[in-house]
Amino acid sequence: MIRDKSNYVKILLSVFFVVCVILPLIRMFANIDAASYHAVVDHPLFGTAVGNSLKAASLATLISVGLALMLSFCLARSNMRLKNMFKVVLTLPMLIPSISHGWGLTLLLGNNGILTKWLGLSEGIHGLTGIVMGSVMYSFPIAFLMLADVMGYEDASPYEAADVLGIGKVRQFTGITLPYLSKPLISVVFSVFTMVITDYGVPMMIGGNYRTLPIMMYEEIIGMGEFGKGSIYGIILLMPAVAAFIIDLLKKEQSRSNFVNKAIKPRKNVVRDMVCYLLCALMCLVVIFPIAAFVLLTVVKRYPLDMTLTLDHIEKTFNMDGGTFLVNSLIVSFAVAVIGTAVAYLCAYCTARTHGPLSRALHLVSITSMAIPGLVLGLSYVLFFKGSFLYGTLAILILVNSMHFFASPYLMIYNSFNIINKNLEDVGATLNISRPRILLNVLVPQTKDTLVEMMSYFFVNSMMTISAVSFLANRNTRQLSLMIRQFEGGRLMECAAFVSLMILCVNLLVKTTVYILKKVLKKNKAR
Amino acid sequence: MENQNTKIVVNGLKVVLGKKTILENIHFDVKDGEFLSILGPSGCGKTTILRCLIGLLNPTGGTIVKDGTDITKLGPSKRGMGIVFQNYALFENMSVLKNVEYALRLDKSRKAESRKIAMEMLQVVGLADHAKKRPSRLSGGQQQRVAIARTLALNPDVILFDEPMSALDVDTRMILRQELKDLQKKFGTTMIYITHDQEEAFAMSDRIMVMDNGVIHQIDTPENIIKNPADDYVRRFVVHNLQLKIDSLSRFSTANAKGDDSAQ
């Protein structure tokens, strides 16, 4: 009989997922008791926090997706100049943690903010407005990137057919564009909503007294060590994420893959191009403002009182162990990039290139991490791994991040594997070329660019995450991103700004390297 | 054909996938050096037979005997067979030469002369000049020739073809058909060829096996199938369809002849 040896790998990976995702989650559920439940639900602020969270997340989602839709439309359907530059600048905010968005906004529009004074406003935007604005800044690039991708791949043929039939532009929009966008749009809306409602970084910085669920959870756990109550909040935060995940899954089952026949070439229209250009430029300005504020605060002595250029704040940050935390972050991010990519690659190889019920089960488990908010995964890890040799080490941070960010890179390589010729392994089997050889000598060389993209995704996200690691990091293993809160708390505003800038610079460096590497790979491929 | 030895005997082959029975009670044999086509519409089970023959699929029941040895449970690489797929399945990251050479280099007994054999095979299929190119820079027909050279390099005595010309244009098909026949003559290889194209099957085969819905309707020479179709299905799917093609061609040739007459 021909035995499929990949089954052993699949079993091993399944066990890995059970230990690293399923069991910790079960442990969190087991931590719930009636007393904690009542303590949370009967808390006078609970109802308010639920309402606040829903309100802030809904508003932020609406604005974020609306803006993303408008700007991705500008990119896909106009002939404006500098499209590539706009795309790069508009996605820059993806490289800094949510807490930095909150911090940038505080610097600009807080009670003593730079813009608050310039514009002569009586008070800052702390509270709902601040949270919504910060959350839009944080989530907009994701929505924009997803939609720009979808729009960029739209087929021109239906529009050409409509033109021939004399159907007007408005009818074309409602009859072709909207139906085409409806499914991806649902995906984007749910992703953004989940991302915003489970984030504590923005509300912590600019929320003022406006309390949201993640803030309550954070305070219960970090402030009071109430893990029982924390678990209740964890389960509540898990709900929207799981709902979004299930809807996305059902939707994907229904949708069929479609291939682009012809890319859309926008007609000549100077006015439209001008409007698009202005809109993109305006949004770029909004995106650049907080980054400019970080730079300004970092390099001048005391804004706005003493504008002398200085390196004092940088020196101070490093004197306060900023260097150690940077190294911690770099070690963790690099390890996550290597280990996460290796596991995701192997896992996708099993699910996309081998058959059987185990493959399908493994695929489902692999994408489940998408449904678990970082805070919830972090808490589960605290409860499950406490007392083990891993707890309190960099290793647990590497593990939790690898799992937290697993789904997206996994799907990247899963899709790449699926478009590579399905008969390669069969041909290999008849030519006596083993599966591992086909994997190493044929599949790996053909998926180099996806591999690079996966590593970069794991690295950048680990570098800026504040969610899963927040409960797990201790004095020795603390990450750079978690320093922003600490510096802000110690009224070291300039140091907090510099830390945000450092994270941005590291990530930008990684992204640039990846860009160059991919260009080189593409050139070699074409040879 | 009568004098030839039997190369392969398939006896009572049965394949059940999930709850669906794909093949049941399939019996046939293939003579040494024969060109056998398996002809049938999509989903009739012809590819399933091929996958069982090469060992990529374990049959639920029945046996496959090659040269008197039961190979039903043998691994795909131990059967002395090669396969050529419709979508070529070339290693895109390797040059044409490396594609042909790769499997040889892994075989200790042939490693030393792998480059020489690979170049010879490329010469046989007329692609020696393209040895250093990546497959993606070749035409569909050329890519299929690389796949054939790669299979021939391991010197199999049976080659299976899974609709190898479906993705090619008509002109290329015509040329490749002749090349395949020439190769068969040169190497004396037994060839089992899957197709849904009646004309292709009739043009190339020593015998044709007509299939539908997991059942063999007839195995015979092209002449006998035309003269004595076994049942209604064969009459309709093979003879009738072929007749339609012949009719349209003869109309064309009549029109052409008339055109020539009037020109004179």
Which residue in the set A1, A426, A445 is minimally distant from B56, CB to CB? A426
Residue A497's pLDDT band, with cuts at 50, 70 and 90, is very high
**CB-closest option in A423, A437, A446 to B85:** A423
Greatest Cα pair distance, chain B, in angstroms, is 69
Residue A509 has pLDDT above 70, yes or no: yes
- The two tokens of residue B205 are 């085969």
* Residues ≥6 apart with Cβ < 8 Å to B252: none
3-state secondary structure A356-387: CHHHHHHHHHHHHHHHCCHHHHHHHHHHHHCC
Check: CB of residue B151 under 8 Å from CB of residue B80: no
Inter-chain contact B88–A421, Cβ cutoff 8 Å? Answer: yes
Instruction: Indicate the pTM of the whole model.
Output: 0.90
- CB-based contact A503:A100 (threshold 8 Å): yes
Does the pLDDT at position A284 exceed 90? yes
Cβ–Cβ below 8 Å for A430 and B85: no
- Enter the CATH code of domain A1-29+323-478: 1.10.3720.10
Looking at residue A1, its pLDDT comes to: 37
Can you read off the two tokens belonging to residue A15?
Answer: 């066990």
Read off the pLDDT band of B259 (50, 70, 90): low
- What confidence tier does A258 reach under pLDDT thresholds 50, 70, 90? low
Q: Using an 8 Å Cβ cutoff, are B122 and B128 in contact?
A: yes
- Mean pLDDT for A161-176 is 90
Closest CA to B96 of B55, B133, B60, B144: B133
pLDDT band for position B58 (50/70/90)?
very high
pLDDT tens-digit readout, B10-42 = 999 999 998 999 999 999 999 999 999 999 998
- As a whole number of angstroms, the distance between CA A341 and CA A460 comes to 13
Of A422, A430, A437, the CB nearest to B77: A430
Q: Which residue has the higher pLDDT, A524 or A84?
A: A84
pLDDT at B2 over 50: no
Contacts of A425 in chain B (CB under 8 A): none
Q: Distances in Å between the alpha carbon of A454 and those of A87, A89, A317, A511? A: 20, 21, 31, 12
Query: Any chain B CB within 8 A of the CB of A308?
Result: no
pLDDT at B245 > cutoff 90: no
The 8 Å CB, 24+ separation contacts for A245-252 are: A245/A367, A245/A368, A245/A370, A245/A371, A246/A371, A247/A186, A247/A190, A248/A186, A248/A187, A248/A190, A248/A370, A249/A367, A251/A183, A251/A186, A251/A187
- Domain ranges (residues) in chain A: 1-29+323-478, 49-304
Q: Does B93 touch chain A (CB under 8 A)?
A: yes
pLDDT value at position A368?
A: 86
Q: What was the pLDDT predicted at A2?
A: 43
Q: Which of A3, A420, A431, A434 to mutate to test the interface with B (most CBs of B within 10 A)?
A: A431
Q: What is the pLDDT of residues A412-457, one digit of tens each?
A: 999 999 999 999 999 999 999 999 999 999 999 999 999 999 999 9
Instruction: Check: CB of residue B207 under 8 Å from CB of residue B34.
Output: yes
Strands B69-70 and B20-31: unpaired
Q: B93 and A442 in contact (C-beta within 8 Å)? A: yes
Radius of gyration of chain B (CA): 20
Q: Which residues contact A105 (CB under 8 A, 6 or more apart)?
A: A125, A130, A133, A134, A137, A202, A205, A206, A290
Q: Which amino acid is at A24?
A: P
Between B58, B87, B103, which is nearest A432 by CB? B103
State residue A371's pLDDT score.
86
Taking Cα atoms as reference points, which of A403, A402, A28, A466 lies closest to residue A215? A466
pLDDT category at A240 given cuts 50, 70, 90 is confident
Mean pLDDT of B62-90: 95
- Count other Cβ atoms within 10 Å, centred on residue B195: 22
Print the SS3 string covering A209-243: CCCCHHHHHHHHHHHCCCHHHHHHHHHHHHHHHHH
Interface-testing mutation among B91, B121, B162, with chain A (most A C-beta atoms within 10 A): B91
Position B3 pLDDT exceeds 60: no
Nearest to A463 by CA among A88, A96, A91, A92: A96
The two beta strands, B35-39 and B207-212, are parallel
Q: Residue A153: which pLDDT band, with cuts at 50, 70 and 90? A: confident
Q: How confident is the model at residue A370 (pLDDT cuts 50, 70, 90)?
A: confident
CB distance A446–B93 less than 8 Å? Answer: yes
Q: What percent of chain B has pLDDT over 70?
A: 95
CB contact under 8 A, A431 and B77: yes
Please, is B108 exposed, middle or buried when counting C-beta atoms within 10 Å of its C-beta (0-12, 13-18, 19+)?
exposed
Could you read off the pLDDT of B219-233 as tens digits, one per residue? Answer: 999 999 999 999 999
Amino acid B258: pLDDT: 65
- Three-state DSSP state, B7: strand
Residues of chain B with Cβ-Cβ distance to A1 below 8 Å are: 58, 73
Q: At what angle do helices A227-254 and A374-385 cross, to 10 degrees?
A: 130
For residue range A199-239, what is the model confidence (pLDDT) as tens digits? 999 999 999 999 999 999 999 998 888 899 999 999 999 99
CATH class of segment(s) A49-304? mainly alpha
| Cβ distance of A426 and B85 shorter than 8 Å | yes
CA-nearest of A455, A446, A453, A439 to A346 is A439
Among A480, A483, A458, A476, which Cα is nearest to A393's?
Answer: A476
The pLDDT value given to residue A302:
86
Tell whether B140 lies on the interface with A, counting CB pairs under 8 A: no
Chain B (168-197) residues lying within 8 Å, Cβ to Cβ, of chain A: none
Tell me, yes or no, if the two domains A1-29+323-478 and A49-304 fold the same way. Answer: yes
Q: Is B33 helix (H, G, I), strand (E, B) or coil?
A: coil
Rg (CA), chain A: 24
Long-range contacts of A481-490 (CB under 8 A, 24+ apart): A481/A97, A481/A99, A481/A329, A482/A325, A483/A322, A483/A325, A484/A97, A484/A99, A484/A100, A484/A103, A485/A99, A485/A204, A487/A317, A487/A320, A488/A103, A488/A205
Closest residue in chain A to residue B150, using alpha carbons only: A431
What is the predicted pLDDT for the residue at A6? 81
d(CA A164, CA B122): 50
* Window 425-444 of A, Cβ < 8 Å to B: 426-427, 429-433, 437, 441-442
Task: Measure Cα distances from A408 to A383, A412, A414, B15 in Å.
Answer: 26, 6, 10, 38
* Residue count (chain B): 264
Our CA angle for B2, B4, B8, nearest 5°, is 110
| pLDDT above 60 for B1 | no
- A306 — pLDDT class (breaks 50, 70, 90): confident
